[in-house]
Structure 1
Amino acid sequence: MRHSGLSDTKTDVAESQQTDVDVLDVLFANVTLLDKSVASKGEPRFVAKVLRQTMSCRANLTPHKLVDFFLAALHSKVPTKDALVALAGGEPTPTPVQTPATPVKSPTRRSARGKKTPAEDDVPDASAEVSKAEDEALRTPIPRPRAKPTPMQTLLPEVEAYAHLLVLMFLTDNGDARCVQASIDAANRLKVFNRRTMDQLDARVLFYVSLSHEKHAELSDVRSALLASLRTSASRFDEIGQESSLNMLLRNYLHYNLYEQAEKLRSKATLPASRSNQQQCRYLYYLGRIRAIQLEYSEAKECLQMAQRKAPKFARGFTLELSKWITVVQLLLGEIPDKKDLTYGGGVTAAALRPYLDLANAVRLGDLEKFRVVAGAHEHVFTCDKTTNLVVRLRRNVIRVGLRRISLAYTKIHLTDVASKLGLGKDDDVEWVVAKAVRDGGIDAMIDHDAQIMYSKDISDVYGTTAPQEAFHARIAFCLDTHNEAVVAMRYAAGGKTPAKSSRKTLNDADAEELVMHILDDDEF
């Protein structure tokens, strides 16, 4: 048992050392990629690979490894080197000194004749254990020396910007409030350099400026900086910075419920032609929220569902937020979401969607009292999710569903009974509520204002009307239009272009060959 415990400890130490080696190797490799990006005059795929590899080793960043990287990758002439080392808050890792292991010889107990006794055969030999340890040490791979950045690479502004980004990532992940001032200093430092090879790094640093202020300060303080960044990116044709600044501004406005300002900015801003998938998902999410507040529920649902389809699989929090908004928008449209859409994932995900599942059940039943209980019990959740305004609007839908159930159950009912079944208070005008539902087409009924009675009309058979015929006609017309478009596309070239000279020459050659064949046939006769 003692030997197995020692082996487990050795394995854990080896794994931790291997992890540390991998982190520094990745960071040094990223410096090489940044150098290649500068040499290729801003090739975006190199910086994109740097960001991907950084996210993969982000969880393994430690203060000691950050300090080791800064001391090796930043030149002594870089003015922000000492500040970055101080923000990391670690000490450089001491260089390990390897000393050759001295084998320990243990005398073997022998009998008087010079041979081991049978009882001594069961005792483990110390020399065998030492030799086994030496074999394990020899089989353990010696870490190769790291390829540290060259002196020319340590002077690159891109490497300095990457160092600022690493510090901001580390401080933000640890919840350190120093990330606010560090992000401001990093943004001011990067403004000194006017290099297109730093556009992606600038956009990512600006993202952490907004994120740090959202967590530890006032988000409105960076609005002017984001507007200036958007103007600068548009003038420089920096598409990455433009889409990042636009999304951060939309988030800034929506954080303070400034939906009108967000819509004005969105309508006047020019969207870049080539957009990344992540930024497009964020834009569709913000646009869906704006459309939902503006009562354009169909377009809001389309934008939110498109963002959910485009969202990466590992973005679970973003997908969860989209599920909440899609559920509320579907309820406002009169649709009841499937239960599986609100119970997927299990655990934390199902618990986060539980308030919206209860809300959907209350709307489906048309129970106004249950709706009030759910809205009151989960008021804090709806406030944090920014869906309180939409949840309040659902009261009309609950009343409409309840009226529909009452109209199906009763052919004649007094308005007082309607109010009691719906749970309406004395301040609510029941007659006005029923009349509005009749006018909107929610129920098929009529009101006797003198007797205060609601009469439900008989449900007509839909197959006795022209509705099925119109539906089939619309489907057939769509199929015919699709067929005609396909025929036209096969008949004519795209864009109405005339055939090329080579095709004309081929046709002329075929006609000439056919004429020669006819002449030969005539000669035979």
Structure 2
Amino acid sequence: MSTSPTASKDKKVEEKDKKGDKTDASKKVEEKPVPPTPTAEIKSNIALIERAVGDLEPRFTHRVLRSLTALRKRLDNKIIRDAIEENYPSDSAVKTSLLSWLPAAPPADQSMDVDAAAQPNGPVASTPSPKPTSDPVPEVEIYFRLLLIHHLHASKDNYAKSVELSKETVDKIQQLNRRSMDPIAAKIWFALERSYELGGELADARPMLLAAQRTAALRHDDDTQASLINRLLRSYLHYNLYDQADKLVSKTTFPASASNPQLARYHYYLGRIKAVQLNYSAAHTNLQQAIRRAPPAKVAPGFYQAVHKLFVVVELLMGDIPDRSTFRHPVLQKALQAYFDIVKAVRTGSLSEFQATLNKHASQLEADKMYTLIVRLRQNVIKTGIRRLSLSYSRISLRDICLKLHLDSEEDAEYIVGKAIRDGVIEGRIVHEKGWMECEGRKNGYGPEVSEVFGRRIGYCLELHNQSVKAMRFPLNAHRKELAAAEGAREREKELAKEIQEGDLDDEGLGDF
């Protein structure tokens, strides 16, 4: 039988309609929810803070603070003003104090508010939320002050104003003396240090930070103590006071319960201190911990780049060549271009190429505070060149070494070659009478240095396992449910045994048994 052309057309139309319905349904599924406005997000955060204070659960406050980085980028004067007016009564003294740090509202905004109030039956009118009758908890005021400080950091003209607001907020926190305010207080100290740094007065904040650190240590306030230690280390390293920073690390104990971002900063500062003190293996370990604990690269690209810059230099100072995949990372590719050129110069062992690369990128390396560390790589470049010569020649004169490595004199070449032989970089000996170096082939690829490398890797893996086990979280009082279930089972067994002994159960009661 042959189908008519009209019937086939109808079938095609039906199939197209079905496909269109499927695509519409898939589009509806793929639609993402609309994110809340900054004012609504601030209001929900205030509800979480009040819940944290009421239930004595600081995890709700930590949830609010985790959203601070994304929220502060969306703030402006109108959003903060609307949020304050929405969450405080009209006759509140705290509201007046908070609004005094913002510029006066322009007349246009006031007229728009009046028009919206005068037209309740408009096409886009919405029911206004009822005004609160009392002030929220004091933690909410400190949270608003934190938002104000970060908002003032956005303009260079408001740096002095942010310092004044930070001082006033710190004094208010110390007067209130509420332990439920500790997580927000830690962020306030970070904002205070940032205000002084932007204003060029970072050294002036150091006595205040030291006094607050002693108080936090006595109160066992881990959040504030971790933040203050990092703030002090940043202040010391900003002015190249590495001895004072090392003394602070030796005299204090960093809280083990600190958050991962604070631990990442602390390990990064330790890595910088150890690298300057020539303790490259300890610096390498600390920087590995900083990279592991750091936020994702797209969330905190600046910190991720700073850690990897120091990590690459420390690896070169240890005599290792960094992995090429590090320089191909999309966040690191552009930032590490100068360091990639340094790695290529060190790998080739050419002292002239290394010096030319160093001069080319001197301004960037000085801005990154890496110039003095990279200057130390000169000896590593010479050792690499000597190692390449020892693999290429069984015997080479000191004069040829001096020419190939661009050294000043044969005495320098003899000293450097002797030190390389003594350090185990090459295997050979210097024939002083004839003025040449005789190289010996390596017997095998194993030795004590290989076992040390494997020992470091195994230690790192064990430490990673221990930290992962410590970071595991379990539901509170979960064992009590198991104990209650086991106790109930034992009671049922006792009742069943008692009934069997008394003969109350008949054959039907035993069931399948």
Say if 1:428 and 1:50 are closer, same or farther in 2 by CA, change over 3 A: farther
One of 142, 146, 169 as aligned partner of 2:150: 169
| TM-score normalised over the length of structure 2 | 0.74
Deviation at 1:220, TM superposition (A): 1.2
One of 250, 258, 262 as aligned partner of 2:233: 250
Cα distance in 1 for residues equivalent to 2:89 and 2:415: 77
| TM-score normalised over the length of structure 1 | 0.72
Match of 1:133 in 2: none
| CA displacement, residues 321-369 of structure 1 (integer Å, 9 cap, x when unaligned) | 11111101111111111222012106xx422100110010011001111
- 1:385 paired with 2:400, answer no
- 1:422 paired with 2:405, answer yes
Say if 1:23 and 1:368 are closer, same or farther in 2 by CA, change over 3 A: same
One of 439, 444, 447 as aligned partner of 1:462: 444
Cα distance in 2 for residues equivalent to 1:143 and 1:247: 47
Q: Secondary structure at the match of 2:73?
A: helix
Cα distance in 1 for residues equivalent to 2:166 and 2:410: 54
Unaligned runs of 5+ in 1: 1-17, 103-136, 483-501, 507-525
One of 34, 45, 69 as aligned partner of 2:83: 69
Paired residues for 1:230-309 under 5 Å = 230-309=213-292
| CA displacement, residues 268-319 of structure 1 (integer Å, 9 cap, x when unaligned) | 2123242211111111111111221222211211111121112111122111
Deviation at 1:39, TM superposition (A): 1.8
Match of 2:509 in 1: none
Contact 2:393 2:439 in 1 (8 A): yes
Cα distance in 2 for residues equivalent to 1:188 and 1:253: 24
Say if 1:101 and 1:265 are closer, same or farther in 2 by CA, change over 3 A: closer
- 1:39 paired with 2:22, answer no
- 1:447 paired with 2:433, answer no
Cα distance in 2 for residues equivalent to 1:35 and 1:395: 59
Q: Secondary structure at the match of 2:346?
A: helix
Say if 1:450 and 1:433 are closer, same or farther in 2 by CA, change over 3 A: same
One of 315, 323, 335 as aligned partner of 1:338: 323
Deviation at 1:64, TM superposition (A): 1.1
Say if 1:83 and 1:302 are closer, same or farther in 2 by CA, change over 3 A: same
Identity of aligned residues (%): 37
What amino acid maps onto 2:438 in structure 1?
Y
Structure ranking higher on relative contact order (CA contacts 8 Å, 6+ apart): 1
Deviation at 1:83, TM superposition (A): 5.2
Cα distance in 2 for residues equivalent to 1:427 and 1:383: 33
Paired residues for 1:367-382 under 5 Å = 367-382=350-365
Q: Secondary structure at the match of 1:151?
A: coil
- 1:57 paired with 2:38, answer no
What amino acid maps onto 2:303 in structure 1?
F
What amino acid maps onto 1:38 in structure 2?
V
Contact 1:153 1:159 in 2 (8 A): no
Paired residues for 1:464-483 under 5 Å = none
What amino acid maps onto 2:289 in structure 1?
M
Say if 1:406 and 1:90 are closer, same or farther in 2 by CA, change over 3 A: farther
Cα distance in 2 for residues equivalent to 1:390 and 1:435: 24
Contact 1:331 1:337 in 2 (8 A): yes
Contact 2:346 2:380 in 1 (8 A): yes
Moved more, 276-285 or 382-391: 382-391
Cα distance in 2 for residues equivalent to 1:99 and 1:208: 41
| CA displacement, residues 428-473 of structure 1 (integer Å, 9 cap, x when unaligned) | 722111111111111112112233222222x14427xx869x97xx
| CA displacement, residues 27-56 of structure 1 (integer Å, 9 cap, x when unaligned) | 122222222222224x21121122234433
Match of 1:110 in 2: none
What is the aligned residue count?
414
What amino acid maps onto 1:191 in structure 2?
Q
Q: Secondary structure at the match of 2:333?
A: helix
Deviation at 1:227, TM superposition (A): 0.7
Contact 1:180 1:217 in 2 (8 A): no
Say if 1:460 and 1:65 are closer, same or farther in 2 by CA, change over 3 A: closer
Q: Secondary structure at the match of 2:334?
A: helix
Cα distance in 1 for residues equivalent to 2:334 and 2:276: 26
Match of 1:402 in 2: 385
Match of 2:139 in 1: 158
Say if 1:273 and 1:438 are closer, same or farther in 2 by CA, change over 3 A: closer
Cα distance in 2 for residues equivalent to 1:377 and 1:143: 62
What amino acid maps onto 2:316 in structure 1?
L
What amino acid maps onto 1:258 in structure 2?
L
Cα distance in 1 for residues equivalent to 2:120 and 2:277: 75
Deviation at 1:389, TM superposition (A): 2.4
Cα distance in 1 for residues equivalent to 2:388 and 2:339: 22
| Runs of 4+, deviation exceeding 4 Å | 74-83, 98-102
